[in-house]
Structure 1
């Protein structure tokens, strides 16, 4: 096949649809990545405007620029937009755009899941912006501490907007984390072992895994607080056995890893761009990878250092203080690796390197003040002052925005096929750098002088006048610099000089693609033998364009890419990814209708939306799969591989694994909350405990045991080619699960106390609902597999769907049993027949 014909056929298969239909249905990773980055940039602009309003208010004492009520909405929305709508979505978009190109793949593992996440992000952000336009924006801070955010003190809809809008957006983040994790682990070029992955992929992988584990506590906290506000279940009400500190624990279980979730992708940009700018490979690749893993692990054990002033026991203060200081060690390992790379190379102060130099200066200050805040006496002294605000911005702006601007300038030829004007870019850098440091370096002093944060006004004569004025002037200088950067990027997109294929002479695979990149990325996929496989003569790029690599032929109009063994990088399957579809936007719209029904108080509409999601999920899954065994098929270069439907390590199976990890983290956080309230809540144990029915408990155990045994027999029958017996076994499994669910419902309805009288009743009802919901999910999975078996989509070779259903069944049964045990086994519970 000629190269021209190959490219034409690939373009026909992977082509993006044009017009409004394409906007609504395209699932191409490049389109979605750019959408995320552009939308995040818009939210950054809105958040920046809100920051200017804050600084205008604080520029002078007793300012009447805005009143306290509006000011509370402004600073709450500023923090929420920057944390949830800008930082995380921006690096998600960068990862979605760059990872397939860096890894030598044609797409992400689950393109439609990425598209669904995009629409959830867009719709969730619209809820927040619409509320702000209507004067109903959240006003309790981006952290929404209770009891301030409880119904008593925030009776309006403002807090509900935050709780439901941010949770809606968090769905997008969880989808992206699963997508990115499976893509990095499975969709790499042949031969790209873990040790040969680009360093940026390591950073993004660890970040995605942190998101898988780190976001569920916040989703749980938002869910519990919304239930308390809507239905009066007292999770955070100390008068009824709840405790406001439960919110802080759950929030900072998310909030502290969030800092590193934001920092690690930025550090990944530094580790990628810096070696190119100094013309020397990254020194200490293995040490850097190890430090990333250590940093990701330890970040989850430091949440209490945000709560040093809440009355934590002194021993815990000492332990968390020491851990907070020690976490600087893996960060310093990366810093030394960067310094050693610069020492060994020849730094060229081009624009990306200029932003990297600015990052070093800013992040050093942010890191040092972070270690200072880890020391309990100083933490007590500056808690809730402007000092903490300054530290936060040095870490998040100095540690995230500066590296991301370096990355944008570095990858700009890849993104828009053009280059920016270096002088305009340098002007933007110096304005941003000078304005940023004038704003926040002075703010450290303001905090040390005692100025609280989150205040709308202050009196004169306290020594805060001139520091606040300087910070306000600096903020407007920084805003001008950001505006110049936006103008620079806009002019580059419209009139910039066209770029060659590899203007930086880098060695990573994203520069092997033509500029601009085709929808399929690579005409054929490479065999990777090193961390920087791209040679300066572009011989590899030319051979891949000629179809001389893997998958250099089209087959039946399918979108194909390679799936590899996680560790070795050897090809394990040919992954067939789905094409453009209306399902992502429709599913996101129905999901949005569920959240809107809760926000507006139309609670009877919420179950209808959930039923719609079940129907859409069924239809979504039913459009995948194959009805014939293909066996090993030609891969190219004389090799063969099976399609992913016939592989034991298919991306879909791994996607379910990481989805269940997220789910299990949510459940573990719920059990943690149960234990926390039982330990410190008032009136525990309550006067009215659960009175579990022994008969119902026995029926639950009998039903789920029968379901597990029947499912095991069904899968064995499928493997041995006995479909009729398998269908009968699946029918028995669903019957057993139905019996278990009915018994669990009876157990709860007859044996649990009111969820409104005490936090104990509220928690045990949530546990029961959690177990029942996951039992229902497992039931739907079993029904789906039985249907697919009857339709011919399942065979001894095609076991992906039964194996996925087995995962969800076992987890659903586990959730039911653990929920039952947590309800029935506390001290004082009285059993009845």
Structure 2
């Protein structure tokens, strides 16, 4: 193998290209036509589907918003019944936050990042396809609950006890709790794809210092999703178990606490605001330099600001709980952090203004939306500082002032940058730009409509208008403000409608070469096809297309890295995460029906479980698991060729295993998600324990120490056997037997946990303390099922000769999962034994 570290001074491939090289590349990457298009896993195709579906939910949520404004336009209106109104405003918030805002930022990233990073594709294309289809199928199924009167009606934050079985006895709340579950799974799957893709598939030479700001923003956002979203998954699981099995996590009379839900929900909910804003900030930092014709001012400061905002966002969840009765010290610290986060945000705003000042902005449609973003978002940020002040928040917390602040931040922080991005990047889709004249009308209608709709809500809120109100009397003095807001919402909707008409017109035009209409510096403007660029560009600076304009001709001529297909399959180059040095050639999986089948099975499992079709729901779950196993079986296969020539002078290994492999890191990130979900369950147990006068509570006792000791011993023995198998070649029948023995140890440990729970009399329906232990054990039981699947999968691959000293990534990754399950089981045992003793002390 030739070292790749010294090849950056010359073109990677300067020899004449074989005449059929481009034809082979096109054949391998060609997008299927007709119904077979549903099998496509190319991230560019998936990204377009993702964006289109997210915009559909944006329109649907907007229609619900118009229904709300129609109801509130005049006093004592009866357009909607109180029950319908509750469903409509709950679905409006839920769809906007969960089915539009979060998916659209991932959708744009899935579409843009392969080109911006100079990669053929992101590393897990079938995972991206699964994430999209689970979101699309499940989201549409969830939305239809509105048409049968089963839509959730407890607000998009679903606070108990309002959403407990006592006060919400129907299935409405269950649709939210189970429906949000698969949406979060989809978002986390997308985050894993983005993190690994940004770190490992950048073009050779694109060091972290040379990486575009947008990629930095999505890297920070991916990490935030990994740590924030598990909390809401844990919270929804606990509330659904309370509703389904009467485990009283949030019922005060049996030791539960409704505030626990708020902690879990807002640990997700406030970082979510920045998960939505930071990608938009990254897009703004990418568009402004191109439109101003000058490099971004303060590039390093902006990157640092992105990281700082991401870090601070996790200290702010109690920002939404100032009126929940927390201690003065806790709320004061959160208040200070809520104001401090404005500093790194302000750094970005001033850097954007300085870039505009230094360059010469073209007054085109994207620029208008960017200026609108700056005006609206800064106003939203100012009111954000206001509600960070405790005395003011205590007065304004449950009023329409908060509704106004929320919409200024989200519409200003996401929607206006998104529309700027649509106008800016539309040529990448078909080579055609949206109408400039229509774009000015779209901006004018949206800008005027948005401010007319939401600015009066500040005043109405200060006059005492509460949130979530169904109607109001004329004597309250809110008439004019609500009528203005309703008119503004209609004007805003007309702007969106005009954009949709123009977008449809533009997409119907004949496709042509996109070129680089904005004279941008980033790589997504290189000529591209289904295989992205003809060759993977060699990056030598922060603004590659400005510093080396010849890339526009060299790359499509095949004069850079990997100009064709070496193995006859889809490929991309994996580079080192910091210096972007070529490490190995990754074989990418091709198009397949299995991600779609798995997604339909996943959505069917959650949705049918909601309406208590248990048998059919279970069958859907089996179909989902089987489809994932089949697609993994197909994907986990390296070609006979062990090395690949990726340039005239560089040869790389094909595939990798262990920490050198991208799949190993994908598994590690998945386990971080896994561990964060468990940490949320553990937090629930500690929170419940701290509220007890006596621990354990009357009627419960700590299990005898022999059972946890036995369980831990079996788990550690099983992990040791798996590790011994991993360090060997993994082929012989002895090793298959070892895996099965390790599985027996894991199952025996879980059986011991259940036995100790029974002997200790820990009835999860009796009190919240026992219920939180049962929740942790249930989660460990889920891992026992996963270990059964992994063990059988390993045995099958070993039996068929698919595990070897070279092709062993599956064994390495399964070992990681096994060791995590052991660590989690040991942690449960330790907590069950030690925490009551600490409480006694």
Same structural fold, with TM-score higher than 0.5 when normalized by the shorter chain: yes
In the other structure, the counterpart of 2:8 is none
Question: Cα 1:444–1:544, aligned 2, differ >3 Å: closer, same or farther?
Answer: same
After superposition, the C-alpha distances for 1:567-598 in whole angstroms (9 at most, x for unaligned) are: 11001111111011111111112212321332
Distance apart, 1:257 and its partner CA: 0.2
Is the counterpart of residue 410 in structure 1 residue 424 in structure 2?
yes
Distance across 2 between alignment mates of 1:162 and 1:282: 42
Does the Cα contact within 8 Å between 1:777 and 1:812 map onto a contact in 2? Answer: no
SS of residue paired to 1:827: helix
In the other structure, the counterpart of 1:768 is 777
Distance across 1 between alignment mates of 2:19 and 2:75: 69
After superposition, the C-alpha distances for 1:732-765 in whole angstroms (9 at most, x for unaligned) are: 4334333323323333343351111111121111
Q: Which moved more, 1:528-537 or 1:465-474?
A: 528-537
Q: How many residues align?
A: 824
Residue among 597, 611, 631 paired with 1:620: 631
Residue among 755, 760, 766 paired with 2:764: 755
Distance apart, 1:606 and its partner CA: 4.8
Is the counterpart of residue 38 in structure 1 residue 52 in structure 2?
yes
Q: TM-score, normalised by structure 1?
A: 0.95
Distance apart, 1:42 and its partner CA: 1.0
Residue among 802, 805, 813 paired with 2:811: 802
In the other structure, the counterpart of 1:574 is 585
Question: Cα 1:722–1:4, aligned 2, differ >3 Å: closer, same or farther?
Answer: closer
Mapping 1:225-236, distance limit 5 Å: 225-236=239-250
In the other structure, the counterpart of 1:196 is 210
SS of residue paired to 2:635: coil
Q: What residue ranges of structure 1 are gaps of 5+ in the alignment?
A: none
Distance apart, 1:700 and its partner CA: 1.4
Distance apart, 1:683 and its partner CA: 7.4
After superposition, the C-alpha distances for 1:675-711 in whole angstroms (9 at most, x for unaligned) are: 1112236876421224424443232122122222222
In the other structure, the counterpart of 1:583 is 594
In the other structure, the counterpart of 1:671 is 682
Distance across 2 between alignment mates of 1:729 and 1:616: 27
Does the Cα contact within 8 Å between 2:712 and 2:829 map onto a contact in 1? Answer: no
Does the Cα contact within 8 Å between 2:567 and 2:639 map onto a contact in 1? Answer: no
Does the Cα contact within 8 Å between 1:771 and 1:812 map onto a contact in 2? Answer: yes
Residue among 783, 790, 808 paired with 1:781: 790
Question: Cα 1:537–1:811, aligned 2, differ >3 Å: closer, same or farther?
Answer: closer
Is the counterpart of residue 480 in structure 1 residue 491 in structure 2?
no
Aligned CA RMSD, in angstroms, stands at 2.1
Distance across 1 between alignment mates of 2:658 and 2:285: 35
After superposition, the C-alpha distances for 1:127-181 in whole angstroms (9 at most, x for unaligned) are: 2221111122111111111111111111111111111111121111111111111
After superposition, the C-alpha distances for 1:634-658 in whole angstroms (9 at most, x for unaligned) are: 1113101112245742121111011
SS of residue paired to 1:636: coil
Is the counterpart of residue 467 in structure 1 residue 487 in structure 2?
no
Does the Cα contact within 8 Å between 1:241 and 1:684 map onto a contact in 2? Answer: no
Residue among 520, 525, 529 paired with 2:531: 520
After superposition, the C-alpha distances for 1:65-101 in whole angstroms (9 at most, x for unaligned) are: 2121111111111111111111111111111110000
In the other structure, the counterpart of 1:9 is 24
After superposition, the C-alpha distances for 1:89-121 in whole angstroms (9 at most, x for unaligned) are: 111111111000000111111111111111111
SS of residue paired to 1:309: coil
Does the Cα contact within 8 Å between 1:412 and 1:419 map onto a contact in 2? Answer: yes
Does the Cα contact within 8 Å between 2:567 and 2:641 map onto a contact in 1? Answer: no
Distance across 2 between alignment mates of 1:612 and 1:544: 43
Distance apart, 1:611 and its partner CA: 4.0
Mapping 1:115-134, distance limit 5 Å: 115-134=129-148
Does the Cα contact within 8 Å between 1:690 and 1:823 map onto a contact in 2? Answer: no
In the other structure, the counterpart of 2:835 is 826
Question: Cα 1:829–1:502, aligned 2, differ >3 Å: closer, same or farther?
Answer: closer
In the other structure, the counterpart of 1:493 is 507
In the other structure, the counterpart of 2:469 is 455
Does the Cα contact within 8 Å between 1:382 and 1:388 map onto a contact in 2? Answer: yes
Residue among 215, 219, 223 paired with 2:233: 219
Residue among 259, 265, 269 paired with 2:283: 269
Does the Cα contact within 8 Å between 1:3 and 1:547 map onto a contact in 2? Answer: no
Distance across 2 between alignment mates of 1:529 and 1:606: 53
Distance apart, 1:600 and its partner CA: 1.3
Does the Cα contact within 8 Å between 1:418 and 1:497 map onto a contact in 2? Answer: yes
In the other structure, the counterpart of 1:740 is 749
Is the counterpart of residue 542 in structure 1 residue 556 in structure 2?
no
Is the counterpart of residue 210 in structure 1 residue 232 in structure 2?
no
Distance apart, 1:281 and its partner CA: 0.6
Question: Cα 1:752–1:494, aligned 2, differ >3 Å: closer, same or farther?
Answer: same
Residue among 332, 340, 343 paired with 2:354: 340
Q: TM-score, normalised by structure 2?
A: 0.95
SS of residue paired to 2:555: helix
Distance across 1 between alignment mates of 2:202 and 2:754: 46
Distance across 1 between alignment mates of 2:548 and 2:642: 38
Question: Cα 1:738–1:381, aligned 2, differ >3 Å: closer, same or farther?
Answer: closer
Question: Cα 1:488–1:753, aligned 2, differ >3 Å: closer, same or farther?
Answer: same
In the other structure, the counterpart of 1:707 is 718
Distance across 1 between alignment mates of 2:322 and 2:838: 35
After superposition, the C-alpha distances for 1:277-328 in whole angstroms (9 at most, x for unaligned) are: 1111111111111111111011011000101011111111211111110011
Distance across 1 between alignment mates of 2:382 and 2:231: 28
Question: Cα 1:536–1:549, aligned 2, differ >3 Å: closer, same or farther?
Answer: same
Does the Cα contact within 8 Å between 2:205 and 2:538 map onto a contact in 1? Answer: yes
Is the counterpart of residue 654 in structure 1 residue 665 in structure 2?
yes
In the other structure, the counterpart of 2:414 is 400
In the other structure, the counterpart of 1:155 is 169
Question: Cα 1:183–1:406, aligned 2, differ >3 Å: closer, same or farther?
Answer: same
Distance apart, 1:779 and its partner CA: 4.3
Question: Cα 1:686–1:647, aligned 2, differ >3 Å: closer, same or farther?
Answer: closer
Distance across 2 between alignment mates of 1:500 and 1:694: 69
Distance across 1 between alignment mates of 2:816 and 2:701: 30
SS of residue paired to 1:561: strand
In the other structure, the counterpart of 1:62 is 76
Distance apart, 1:339 and its partner CA: 1.6
Distance across 2 between alignment mates of 1:663 and 1:746: 25
